[in-house]
Amino acid sequence: MPDPIAEYHRLLEADAPAADEQARWLREAFARESVTFDGEPMPSFVRPHFVPRGDWDALRSQGVRVMEVAARVAREVFDGDVGRLCAFLGTPESEARWVSVDPGPPDVVLSRLDAFVTPEGPRFIEINSDAPAGFGYSDRMARLFQELPVFRDFARGLPVSYQRSDAALVRAVVGQWRPSGDAARPRIAIVDWAEVKTRPDQEILREAFAARGFECLLADPREVDIREGRLHAGGAAVDLVYRRAVLSELVEGEDDVKAFLQAYRQRLCPFVNSFRCRLSEDKAFFAVLTDEAFAHLMSEEEIGLLSRVLPWTRRVAERRTLKRGREIDLLPYVIENREHLVLKPAHSYGGRSVYLGSETSPEDWESAARAGLEAPWVVQERVTIPEEPFPVLDHETGEMTFVPLKVNANPFYVAGEEAGAVTRASRSSVINVSAGGGSVPTFVVG
């Protein structure tokens, strides 16, 4: 089978003016079809990400296994004592109060994993379960890419497909509802701040629920209330909350969202995801899944899988531990081996405050490592980031160049069902749309 990237680029190069025109059309289509971030068309490229079928099957199946093991271990570690787990993770007390409220499993219905597709198999570097975004964007982007003439030409020569997520997401969310009273179907509220940058993604998903016969609205957590023992939004009772407001922001504005949090505490309706999802997605939780101190919670097969697909991770601390079977003194090891490691705060998102050892001076690295003793930080083995050439067009000159970009594949988790993925690409090693990267849909070839 021809190299799909080379073949797609050959088609682009065959008619550079047409490629420029299609890139312009794609940006206009993103604006028209609500694929926007902070009011602007989602940064993207005129080529999607292509993943060979075998790599895709491994990415999806192993991602599901990671999610299932993580969610189970989060309930079993420290004999189920959430307070002890929060203390280990360094969970802020304001969040720990809510994480300790247990509405019962499943803790994680929806998630998005950050991964690298490598010749040795997938490597997962983060889990995003606390209000993951992108499901709607990805499906909509894929449909628009499939309308490009260059993509249609490409698809005539190679077997290529996209796995939609919307139907599985609707089933997964609605599956958490238990019928009561006279309601034949739940009324669903997608709850997030009205001014959030990813509001269009939620609107796309609202349309997905509506297309399947479910009444669904977007609601701000500051504007809900409780009446007659029911959570209300938009003037009517809510049967099911699809939560998109992240926990850290909810507790930061706790005085303004008292009714929303009270509804959660009193279990007035199911919340997807529950606040307990915050435990297994914590950046420090990889230190549970890869630390020999917790190996008794997993089978030998699970330990083998996690050691292959997760980076070695430890909470920054003064302690001794194992690295590749050899005992090390953790802090001196971190300071002396910065080129192979990454330091990051356990409780942030958007690529903020991430230190890549190979791109950090020895002085700044040691300072960050020692500061990590005073706050919940983690150190991770650095995984080599794959690169691929992407077409970059200068719309003023019409010139097209192929620029090597770092690529991060993000498979969605939807209660274990078949779901799709979105890919981010960037010149920077910190690959995030908020940090200046671009987003493209993920297509399977083969």
The full set of domains in the chain, from first to last, is 312-381 (3.30.1490)
Closest CA to 439 of 201, 260, 250, 208: 201
With tokens 């998005």, the residue in question is 112
Amino acid at 154: F
Query: In the predicted model, what is the mean pLDDT of residues 405-431?
Result: 90
Choice among 46-60, 181-195, 270-284, 291-305 with the minimum mean pLDDT: 181-195
With tokens 């630390």, the residue in question is 291
Which pLDDT value is given to residue 432?
57
If one compares 164 and 431, the residue with the highest pLDDT of the two is 164
- Residue 391 — pLDDT band, cuts 50, 70, 90? very high
- The pLDDT > 90 percentage for the chain reads 88
Per-residue pLDDT reduced to its tens digit, 165-180: 999 999 999 999 988 7
How many other C-beta atoms can be found within 10 angstroms of the C-beta atom of residue 34?
18
Which pLDDT value is given to residue 396?
78
- Residues linked to residue 62 through DSSP beta bridges, in sequence order: none
Query: In the predicted model, what is the mean pLDDT of residues 228-244?
Result: 95
- Residues linked to residue 342 through DSSP beta bridges, in sequence order: 356, 380
Structure tokens at 213: 């016969």
- Residue 435 — pLDDT band, cuts 50, 70, 90? very low
The average confidence (pLDDT) of the chain is 93
The CA distance from 441 to 122, in Å, is 18
Provide long-range contacts, Cβ within 8 A and 24+ apart, for 97-102.
97/251, 98/247, 98/250, 98/251, 98/261, 98/264, 98/275, 99/247, 99/275, 99/276, 99/278, 99/279, 101/264, 101/265, 101/275, 101/276, 102/276
The CA distance from 102 to 274, in Å, is 8
Amino acid at 438: G
Per-residue pLDDT at 434 exceeds 80:
no
DSSP labels, 23-81: HHHHHHHHHHTT-EETTEEPP--SS-EEEEHHHHHHHHHHHHHHHHHHHHHHHHGGGG-
Which pLDDT value is given to residue 51?
98
Per-residue pLDDT at 433 exceeds 60:
no
Which pLDDT value is given to residue 427?
85
Amino acid at 361: S
- Residue 57 — pLDDT band, cuts 50, 70, 90? very high
Per-residue pLDDT at 161 exceeds 60:
yes
Which pLDDT value is given to residue 312?
96
How many other C-beta atoms can be found within 10 angstroms of the C-beta atom of residue 180?
9
Per-residue pLDDT reduced to its tens digit, 113-141: 999 999 999 999 999 999 999 999 999 99
Per-residue pLDDT reduced to its tens digit, 351-377: 457 899 999 999 999 999 999 998 889
Which pLDDT value is given to residue 393?
86
- Residue 266 — pLDDT band, cuts 50, 70, 90? very high
Q: DSSP H helical segments within 237-329, as ranges? A: 247-252, 258-265, 277-281, 286-289, 300-309
The CA distance from 442 to 415, in Å, is 20
For 60, counting Cβ atoms within 10 Å of its Cβ (0-12 exposed, 13-18 middle, 19+ buried), the class is buried
Amino acid at 298: M
The CA distance from 304 to 40, in Å, is 44
The CA distance from 71 to 8, in Å, is 39
Closest CA to 199 of 42, 9, 316, 381: 42
HEC sequence for 188-220:
EEEECCCCCCCHHHHHHHHHHHHHCCCCEEEEC
Per-residue pLDDT reduced to its tens digit, 31-55: 999 999 999 999 999 999 999 999 9
- Residue 209 — pLDDT band, cuts 50, 70, 90? very high
Structure tokens at 260: 């929303």
Per-residue pLDDT at 327 exceeds 50:
yes
Q: How far is CA 104 from CA 2, 101, 439, in A?
A: 49, 9, 35
Which pLDDT value is given to residue 436?
53
